[in-house]
Copies of this chain bind each other. A is one copy, B any other.
């Protein structure tokens, strides 16, 4: 198989190394000719979210008729609807994709052939996409280590990702921006490190991701702020019964989510 990758950061670079390790030919599609793009059986667009659809549309006549096109954008509402009209008129098949893997550090230098080992991959096919295409994609991505596949629509994807990933990055950043953070050494154990681990992410990339998913992120962030206010009120009012109830609910929710 020939895999074409456009965008060689952490995610694209890790796909490059992983598919190469799995024995496939991998091409960097930056500045590639139409003929080179036409040789790819699989194209993965790993550009920033807002650049994915324009690149796919620009090259709509270059892809091979039987090619599978996917992407790695962490938001799908600003990607999939924009590609849908050209994909429906073409012979190649586009299925939105989002690998649930990352690192605190972006860039090709941090890419890793094993980044996707044990990870989950989300696909967001259009209505009418043949299920055989999604099954082929699952088989291909399983080759490089993905163990779980979720198939959903862009709106549900974006709501879930706002909660499971984007909100965690907001909290991590906000958590560490406290005057006491500078002197935490010796006073902290695992929980502080857990809370602040992803605060090192690239501000440009994540600003784009947040603003590309404004509505869902605003909603989950607002709900979190409201819930934190419940704990604060209970602490301030020395309301042990409420505090115990909130913590017991949190424990039950964590157990139920395992």
Interface on A for B, CB 8 Å cutoff? 100-102, 119-120, 122, 148-150, 157, 159-161, 163-165, 167-178, 180-192, 194-201, 203-204, 206-208, 210-211, 214, 217-218, 220-225, 227-232, 235-236, 238, 240, 243-251, 253-257
Complex contact A100–B187 (CB within 8 A): yes
Specify which chain B residues have a CB less than 8 angstroms from the CB of A148 in the assembled complex.
Answer: 185-186
Specify which chain B residues have a CB less than 8 angstroms from the CB of A199 in the assembled complex.
Answer: 250-251, 253-254
Specify which chain B residues have a CB less than 8 angstroms from the CB of A165 in the assembled complex.
Answer: 187-189, 191-192
In the complex, A187 Cα to B189 Cα: how many Å? 27
In the complex, A25 Cα to B184 Cα: how many Å? 34
Please classify the interface of chain A as helix (H, G, I), strand (E, B), loop, or mixed, using the class held by over half of its residues: helix
CB-nearest residue of chain B to A164: B188
Minimal beta-carbon separation of A98 from chain B (angstroms) = 9
CB-nearest residue of chain B to A250: B173
Complex contact A187–B207 (CB within 8 A): no
Minimal beta-carbon separation of A205 from chain B (angstroms) = 9
Specify which chain B residues have a CB less than 8 angstroms from the CB of A229 in the assembled complex.
Answer: 225
In the complex, A230 Cα to B181 Cα: how many Å? 18
Complex contact B228–A100 (CB within 8 A): no
Complex contact A224–B257 (CB within 8 A): no
Cβ 8 A contact of A180, one of B175, B204, B220: B220
Cβ 8 A contact of A235, one of B180, B218, B246: B218
